[in-house]
Amino acid sequence: MSSNHHAKDETLMRFAAGTLAAGPSLVVEAHLAGCSTCRARIAEYEAVGGSFLEDIEPTQLSETALADTLAMIDQEDEMPAPVSAQKPVEIDGIRLPDALRGCDIGRWRWAGPGVRMSRVGVPHDPEANLILLKVGPGRALPDHGHVGTEFTYIVSGSYTDRFGQFRPGDLAEMDEDVEHQPIVDQGADCICLAAMEGRMRFNSVIGRMLQPIFGI
Amino acid sequence: MHEAHNHIGEKPGWSVATHRRLSVVNSEEIPPAPAAAEFVEMLLSVATRKDRQAFAALFRHFGPRLKTFFMRGAMSAGLAEDLVQETMLTVWRKASYFDPARAGVATWIFTIARNRRIDHLRRQRDPASLPFDPPEMPPSQEEVFVVAERDTRIRSALAGLSEEQQTILRMAYFSEKSQSEIAEELGIPLGTVKSRTRLAMNRLRTLLEDEK
């Protein structure tokens, strides 16, 4: 599966730095599974992090830090290797990205004519705003009024907007000020995984309250 | 255990530095650090022999750097130290997953520290959130043989950035701060942070492509 639409460099860097929110991270991860170009860039940005870490000035640790860590190592017996026995996830018999293993996939719910939506629960971040959308042929993807960038990964089917055709494996990354109206291509439903950022950043409570006001 | 000790020789074993570091930190009280290739040997020794001395050498080198890394992300010294221990404990546990064909030791440890930080921030907001433990990605084709070359390429690309550009990228890596918080800290408008970040990114990308 080779992709035509990729993640932006800045997004890949934030993914590598660990500062991209959980929802968008999973959408990017879904794309990465089939895109060696973006994976190579992630590896580069991780190496940038490694280089920064290597060059950072050291801060003295407490005298017992090493001994404490060795003591923790002593305490744990032979830990069984964590087995990821999670089954592949699917919906409507269509295999979903492995990035969603362990996530809680809700049922399809009506979200407008020809549009079904399912919430995706992320175990390591219950606040993540992640959904699956299923849109019928010829239908427009609903306008969900996002604050901040929206990330969409195409699972099956395809849609077209003024940026071109988006097919399985592609990633669409749209800033909030980008106007586009994706229309699902004829022939099949289009299922996509979408996350929005903006409302679920790592912010303080007050920051979160102010966000809608200032649009940050 | 004892075999491992014999294997690596006398006490100072791993901490003897035979290569100089690219950038000198502080003064003479910090011995020059071992080179990347030695870290690889150490980590592989931890993986295959549960070599505590090698682990201790890695801890002495990376522990204090990890502490700075966490503190830059606005954590207290105490909390940063806890996360250093968590990170190094994970290094011990997961050493067998380290693949020198895919990443250098500093990069691999950086990714572990990054994941521990994500975990910590999520637990802070929701104590019930489960550990973040992303699966290993399959390597990309280019990845197989170029680790050392890539690291060199990245070092020289970073060196090609202005001081200001490096600072802004470092801040993007080391803290969870939003761009507006970074703007406040640097005392410059948000738009400037955004444009500087973009410029730094583009410059880095150009330099990386040039080095290829």
User: In this model, does residue A206 exceed pLDDT 90?
Assistant: no
With an 8 Å Cβ cutoff, are A29 and B134 in contact?
yes
Q: How many CB atoms lie within 10 A of CB A6?
A: 19
The pLDDT, as a whole number, for residue B4 is 41
Instruction: For residue A38, give the chain B residue with the closest CA.
Output: B140
Predicted confidence (pLDDT) per residue in B63-105, tens digit: 999 999 999 888 899 999 999 999 999 999 999 999 888 889 9
Instruction: For residue B173, give the chain A residue with the closest CA.
Output: A17
SS3 string, A23-46, reads HHHHHHHHHHHCCHHHHHHHHHHH
Task: Give strand ranges (E) for chain B.
Answer: none
Share of chain A above pLDDT 70, in %: 83
User: Which range of residues forms the domain containing residue A80?
Assistant: 1-216
User: In this model, does residue A29 exceed pLDDT 50?
Assistant: yes
Instruction: For residue A216, give the chain B residue with the closest CA.
Output: B180
The pLDDT, as a whole number, for residue B142 is 54
What span, in angstroms and rounded, lies between the C-alpha atoms of B58 and B63? 8
Burial class of residue B23 in the structure, from the number of CB atoms within 10 Å of its CB (0-12 exposed, 13-18 middle, 19+ buried): exposed
The pLDDT, as a whole number, for residue A209 is 41
The pLDDT, as a whole number, for residue A195 is 92
Helix axes A9-17, A36-55, angle to 10 degrees: 50
* ipTM score: 0.82
The pLDDT, as a whole number, for residue B121 is 85
Predicted confidence (pLDDT) per residue in B102-148, tens digit: 889 999 999 999 999 988 988 887 777 777 776 666 555 555 556 77
Best mutation target, A20, A87, A124, A210, to test chain B (most B CBs within 10 A): A124
Instruction: Classify domain B146-212 at the CATH class level.
Output: mainly alpha
Q: How many domains does chain A have?
A: 1
Give the gap in angstroms from C-alpha B211 to the nearest C-alpha of chain A: 13
Q: Mean pLDDT, chain A, as a whole number? A: 83
Instruction: For residue B30, give the chain A residue with the closest CA.
Output: A58
Average pLDDT over residues A205-209: 39
Instruction: For residue B34, give the chain A residue with the closest CA.
Output: A54
Average pLDDT over residues A190-212: 57
The pLDDT, as a whole number, for residue A198 is 56
User: In this model, does residue B8 exceed pLDDT 50?
Assistant: no
Average pLDDT over residues A4-19: 92
- A126-135, A178-187, A204-213, B196-205: lowest mean pLDDT where? A204-213
User: In this model, does residue B51 exceed pLDDT 90?
Assistant: yes
List all residues 6 or more positions away from B208 whose beta carbon is below 8 Å from its beta carbon.
A44, B153, B154, B157
Half-sphere exposure of A15 (CA within 13 A, CB side): 25
Residue type, B71: M
- Whether A75 contacts chain B with CB within 8 A: no
CATH at residue A148: 2.60.120.10
Helix (H) or strand (E) holding A73: helix A65-75
Residues of A in contact with B102 (CB under 8 A): 43
With an 8 Å Cβ cutoff, are A33 and B137 in contact?
yes
Residues of A in contact with B138 (CB under 8 A): 33, 39
The pLDDT, as a whole number, for residue B28 is 46
The pLDDT, as a whole number, for residue A148 is 75
Longest CA–CA separation in chain B, Å: 59
What are the residue boundaries of the structural domains of chain B, listed by start?
A: 1-144, 146-212
Give the gap in angstroms from C-alpha B76 to the nearest C-alpha of chain A: 12
The pLDDT, as a whole number, for residue A212 is 42
- A176-185, B46-55, B71-80, B198-207: lowest mean pLDDT where? A176-185
With an 8 Å Cβ cutoff, are B150 and A17 in contact?
no
Share of chain B above pLDDT 90, in %: 41
| Architecture of the CATH domain B1-144 | Orthogonal Bundle (1.10)
Which A positions 143-202 lie with beta carbon below 8 A of chain B? 201-202
Give the gap in angstroms from C-alpha A108 to the nearest C-alpha of chain B: 25
User: In this model, does residue B27 exceed pLDDT 80?
Assistant: no
User: In this model, does residue B9 exceed pLDDT 60?
Assistant: no
Average pLDDT over residues B47-76: 94
The pLDDT, as a whole number, for residue A2 is 62
Average pLDDT over residues B155-166: 91
Q: How confident is residue A193, by pLDDT bands cut at 50, 70 and 90?
A: very high
Give the gap in angstroms from C-alpha A10 to the nearest C-alpha of chain B: 7
User: In this model, does residue A200 exceed pLDDT 60?
Assistant: no
* A and B: number of Cβ contacts within 8 A: 182
Predicted confidence (pLDDT) per residue in A88-143, tens digit: 788 888 899 999 988 999 889 988 889 999 999 988 888 788 999 999 999 988 76
Q: How confident is residue A213, by pLDDT bands cut at 50, 70 and 90?
A: very low
With an 8 Å Cβ cutoff, are B103 and A14 in contact?
no
With an 8 Å Cβ cutoff, are B84 and A53 in contact?
no
- Whether A123 contacts chain B with CB within 8 A: yes
Predicted confidence (pLDDT) per residue in A61-76, tens digit: 999 999 999 999 888 7
- Whether A79 contacts chain B with CB within 8 A: yes
User: In this model, does residue A57 exceed pLDDT 70?
Assistant: yes
List all residues 6 or more positions away from B27 whose beta carbon is below 8 Å from its beta carbon.
none
Give the gap in angstroms from C-alpha A181 to the nearest C-alpha of chain B: 26
The pLDDT, as a whole number, for residue B134 is 67
